[in-house]
Amino acid sequence: MTTFFVNILALGTLFSSVFAITSKNPVISIIFVIATFVQAAGYLIFIGVNFIGISYIVIYVGAIAVLFLFVIMMINIKLTDILETGNQYTKNLPLALAIGSLFTYVIFTIIPFNLNNVPALSLISESLINLNSLILNSNLISKDFISIIVNAYYNLSLSDINITDFTQIETLGYSLYTYGAIFLIILSVILLLAMLATIIISRSNK
Amino acid sequence: MIFLSILILIVAKALISNNNLSPVLFPRITAIIFIYAGVLSLNTFYIQSIGSGIGIYSGLFHITSFSQFIEFFIYIIGSLILIAWPILSEKTIGSTVSSTPSIENLTSNKLLLLDFYKSNYFAEYSLIIIFSSLGASLLISSSDLISIYLSIELQSFGLYILATLFRDSESATSAGLKYFLLGGLSSCIILLGCGLIYSYTGLTNLDSIYSLISVSEFNNIIQGLSLGLTLIFIGFLFKIAAAPLHNWSPDVYDDSPTIVTTWLTIMPKISILFLLLEIYTQIGSNVYNTINITSLLSLLIGTIVGLAQTKIKRLLAYSTISHIGFILLALSINTEQSIDSLIFYIIQYTITNLNIFLIILGLSYIIKNSKLHYNNSFPVIQSVKDIKFISEFKGQFFLNPLLSLSLSICLFSMAGMPPLIGFFSKQFVLYSAMQSGYYFIAIVAILVSVVSASYYLKIIRVLHTSVENPELELNTNSKNSVYLPNDVNISNISNSNNLSFKNVNLLTNFHSFLISSLTLSILLFILKPSIILNITQVLSLSLFNF
């Protein structure tokens, strides 16, 4: 059942991100962006990455998207300009198709493609197996989503699953403040630069 | 050191808002900081245990003698660029003002000058430059995917802001925006590559990835890893504007002010190229084709498209692309000799390019100032404008003979004329290419460098042909006594300009000293080549044998 939800959420994320790009009204596209982030957060929570999922909602939806909404309401864009640029998108459609298909081709030549890779297909086959087992009156085989993907390749899933047994914030905190303390410092320098830059760019000269 | 000085400078800038400390001092302080940090990084050679490299910060950064030398080089070049700012201390303003005869001129002159100083570009420029070079020095020594990504972000954020720094001009803003969007795209590609590598190997540390590759037999892992590595390399090639991904660079370089372009063309490329070198020498075989094709394309595109340019900075951007092609050719060969020639090429190219930009800056100050003087009866410093078109150099040989001579020396060196330093670097690259059997691409490179010589020669021809415009000729005649080439030093010329025009010349003595010494080092490399060559040889040996 979780697999099904995860699939639905992933599909929804893709579609709403596409709609966010193509929709003509900026407010609606912002709402689609919010929808994308919420669905992505749900996806992450379903596959077991709770903390990151929740922080997606808190940071992206709570702060950034709302900020976008405010900015869009403030600056009052003319819709006709956007419509004109929207026409230009379709001009390059053949090029985009060619590049996209080439890229997918390269990806598929490198990543070996088999049916086990696609969760939607494996869901069907799995439900078939479940139906078999119903007839045979054996226990329902429940497979975790992650383990399907991981086991298709090789078994390194044990350590991953063990990590999720801890509180995730705890694990993150441990590694961030001991092993990766320098990352924290570099990140703080980047944030400092970002703050300084906004001040420099937006301040009036007088 | 750099980090601490960032904090100190921010505090200084925040506290001293009531003009106790002139903003002019900031670039100078920063230059001193850079020199000091460079000496510190050079000083680490005395630590015995550095021989094969030390991992610091729990192995996320890796300090070797190689990375230390590059850090030293970056800092020194950075300090040279910073010193080249048009700096006037209060004293020279006072002296020139006192030497001007009329009072109205005096007041207007002083007011406008003060306006020029009030604009805080000095302080901001130097502050952001420190941030960016902190990122560069972290990037060189980083040995982890995450630390690579973080430090490339730190470096390029600084560059985006640098491009938008002169926000009053529309072109600079558009250049900065374009740079930001495309740079963000390339960072995304790098991040995608990092993600792919992590998802296939579960490792982020470069050393463990190297050792995994050397023992791994899973075809899957190797394939995914080469995909990720290709994406990372594509992102980095995007950032250094190698050929199929070069389209942003001429626009950005052309639109941003020259003084920023100097930094943009030189500094980020050094650090990224050396990072690529470090990765490539370890696991190069996966991205061999990418680098090879890119080098061929950038050789071709950089020269052929560069032929049609009329703007000087666009032309220099295209010449940068073709030089990147040479550097990538040396990178793709990946023998000890070619790495040696790669390091030498980068050092030589940095020096030459820096010198060309310094001369263009100097010429632009002189030309614009003198034109202003012709037009108006009293000297006025408006916001300093850059030279845009090649045709603006016309006849400069008769006005500023020494500056234009040194510019033509630099251009000859870039074109690869025999006694100059540029010839030797090209020769080393081609020699190592021939030795490893890269005949086709070596022939292409030779042809391309011949073609590229033609557009350098175009600039030189423009420099040395006299002006046909009668109005300007009159002016040159009237000012002939000023510009007579009877002075030995360039600084003397600038001084004489200063006196005759009663105009505040933005060219400092140090600027001209820098130009002359760099030109001499380009010119006289043949007399004592062992200094640089020994350094590069030892470095490439240390990269392979440790």
Interchain contact, B6 vs A189, CB within 8 Å: yes
Interchain contact, A190 vs B57, CB within 8 Å: no
Instruction: Enumerate residues 106 to 135 of chain B having a beta carbon within 8 A of any beta carbon in chain A.
Output: 118-120, 124, 127-128, 131, 134
Encoded tokens for B114 = 């003060």
| Interval B344-370: pLDDT, tens | 888 888 888 888 888 888 777 776 655
Residues B387 and B367: beta-carbon distance below 8 Å: yes
Residue B441 lies in a domain: yes
Give the residue from A189, A195, A199 with the most B CB atoms within 10 Å of its CB, the best one to mutate: A189
Contacts 24+ apart (CB under 8 A), A102-108: A106/B227, A107/B227
Residue owning tokens 């045979």:
A136
Residues from chain A that touch B136, judged by Cβ atoms under 8 A, are none
Q: Measure CA B319 to chain center.
A: 13
Residues B201 and B283: beta-carbon distance below 8 Å: no
pLDDT band, residue B110 (cuts 50/70/90): very low
Answer with the residue of higher pLDDT: B158 or B23.
Answer: B158
Residue B501 lies in a domain: yes
| Interval B219-238: pLDDT, tens | 777 777 888 888 899 899 88
Residue B534 lies in a domain: yes
What is the count of structural domains for chain A?
1
Tell me, yes or no, if the pTM score tops 0.80: no
Average pLDDT, chain B: 75
pLDDT value at residue B111: 45
Q: Is B185 helix (H, G, I), strand (E, B) or coil?
A: helix
pLDDT value at residue B5: 64
| Interval B259-275: pLDDT, tens | 788 888 888 888 898 88
pLDDT value at residue B21: 56
pLDDT value at residue B102: 42
| Interval A87-121: pLDDT, tens | 666 677 788 888 888 877 777 766 655 545 555 66
Model confidence at B84: pLDDT above 80: no
Average pLDDT, stretch B84-91?
Answer: 51
DSSP string, chain A: -HHHHHHHHHHHHHHHHHHHHH-SSHHHHHHHHHHHHHHHHHHHHHTT-HHHHHHIIIIIIIIIIHHHHHHHHHH---HHHHHHHHHHHHHTHHHHHHHHHHHHHHHHHHSPP-GGG-HHHHHHHHHHHHHHHHHHT-PPP---HHHHHHHTT---HHHHHHHHHS-HHHHHHHIIIIITHHHHHHHHHHHHHHHHHHHHHHS---
Answer with the residue of higher pLDDT: B276 or B524.
Answer: B276
Of A42-56, B237-251, B275-289, B457-471, the least confident: B457-471
Encoded tokens for B490 = 């360039």
Residue owning tokens 């200084």:
B12
Interchain contact, A183 vs B124, CB within 8 Å: no
Average pLDDT, stretch B285-309?
Answer: 83
The boundaries of the domain holding residue B315 are 297-546
| Interval B422-456: pLDDT, tens | 888 888 888 888 888 888 888 888 888 888 888 88
Q: Is B166 helix (H, G, I), strand (E, B) or coil?
A: coil
Model confidence at B209: pLDDT above 50: yes
Question: Angle at CA A103, nearest 5°, toward B217 and A44?
Answer: 75
DSSP string, B340-402: HHHHHHHHHHHHHHHHHHHHHHHHHHHHHHHHHHHHSSS----SPPPP-BGGGGTTHHHHSHH
pLDDT band, residue B380 (cuts 50/70/90): very low
Residues A200 and B165: beta-carbon distance below 8 Å: yes
| Interval B115-168: pLDDT, tens | 444 456 667 777 888 888 888 888 888 888 888 999 899 889 888 888 887 777
Residue A60 lies in a domain: no
Least Cα separation, residue A192 to chain B (angstroms): 10
Residue B80 lies in a domain: no
**A110 at the B interface (CB within 8 A)?**
yes
Residue A196 lies in a domain: yes
Q: Residue B541: CB partners within 8 Å, gap ≥ 6? A: B336
Residue B329 lies in a domain: yes
Dihedrals φ, ψ of B56, to 5°?
-120, 165
Cα gap B249→B260, rounded to integer Å? 13
Cα gap A39→A34, rounded to integer Å? 9
Cα gap B197→B204, rounded to integer Å? 8
Cα gap B523→B413, rounded to integer Å? 8
Of B37-41, B59-63, B100-104, the least confident: B100-104
Residue A176 lies in a domain: yes
What count of residues does chain B have?
A: 546
Q: Which residues of chain A have pLDDT under 50?
A: 115, 138-142
Cα gap B72→B137, rounded to integer Å? 9
Least Cα separation, residue B73 to chain A (angstroms): 22
Measure Cα distances from A132 to A116, A137, A138, A142, B209 in Å: 19, 9, 9, 13, 44
Interchain contact, A197 vs B226, CB within 8 Å: no
Residue A190 lies in a domain: yes
Question: Angle at CA B155, nearest 5°, toward B154 and B158?
Answer: 85
What count of residues does chain A have?
A: 206
Distance separating the N- and C-terminal Cα atoms of chain B: 28
DSSP string, B238-271: HHTT-GGG-THHHHHHHHS-HHHHHHHHHHHHHH
**A182 at the B interface (CB within 8 A)?**
yes
Cα gap B242→B297, rounded to integer Å? 8
Report, in this order, helix, strand and coil percent for chain B, each rounded to 5. Answer: 80, 0, 20
Residue B223 lies in a domain: no
Interchain contact, A190 vs B153, CB within 8 Å: yes
pLDDT value at residue B190: 92
Interface predicted TM-score (ipTM) over 0.90:
no
Cα gap B476→B462, rounded to integer Å? 17
Q: Give the range with max mean pLDDT: B212-226, B269-283, B520-534.
A: B269-283
pLDDT value at residue B90: 39
The boundaries of the domain holding residue A198 are 166-206
Instruction: Enumerate residues 135 to 164 of chain A having a beta carbon within 8 A of any beta carbon in chain B.
Output: 153-154, 156
Residues B224 and A111: beta-carbon distance below 8 Å: yes
- Give the percent of chain B with pLDDT over 90: 2
| Interval B389-431: pLDDT, tens | 767 777 667 777 788 888 888 888 888 877 788 888 888 888 8
pLDDT value at residue B204: 83
Model confidence at B473: pLDDT above 50: no
Answer with the residue of higher pLDDT: B497 or B314.
Answer: B314
Residue A86 lies in a domain: no
Nearest residue to B234 via CA among B285, B292, B193: B193
Beta-carbon pairs below 8 A across chains A and B: 72
Residue A90 lies in a domain: no
Answer with the residue of higher pLDDT: B380 or B58.
Answer: B58
Least Cα separation, residue B457 to chain A (angstroms): 39
Q: Residue B101: CB partners within 8 Å, gap ≥ 6? A: B502
pLDDT value at residue B191: 92
pLDDT value at residue B30: 78
Cα gap B76→B39, rounded to integer Å? 9
pLDDT value at residue B101: 42
Q: At what angle do helices B401-415 and B509-523 cross, to 10 degrees?
A: 40
What is the count of structural domains for chain B?
1
pLDDT value at residue B32: 81
Residue B184 lies in a domain: no
Interchain contact, B131 vs A200, CB within 8 Å: no
Residue B279 lies in a domain: no
Measure Cα distances from B232 to A78, A160, B281, B282, B330 in Å: 39, 26, 15, 15, 19
Residue A173 lies in a domain: yes
Average pLDDT, stretch B42-52?
Answer: 70
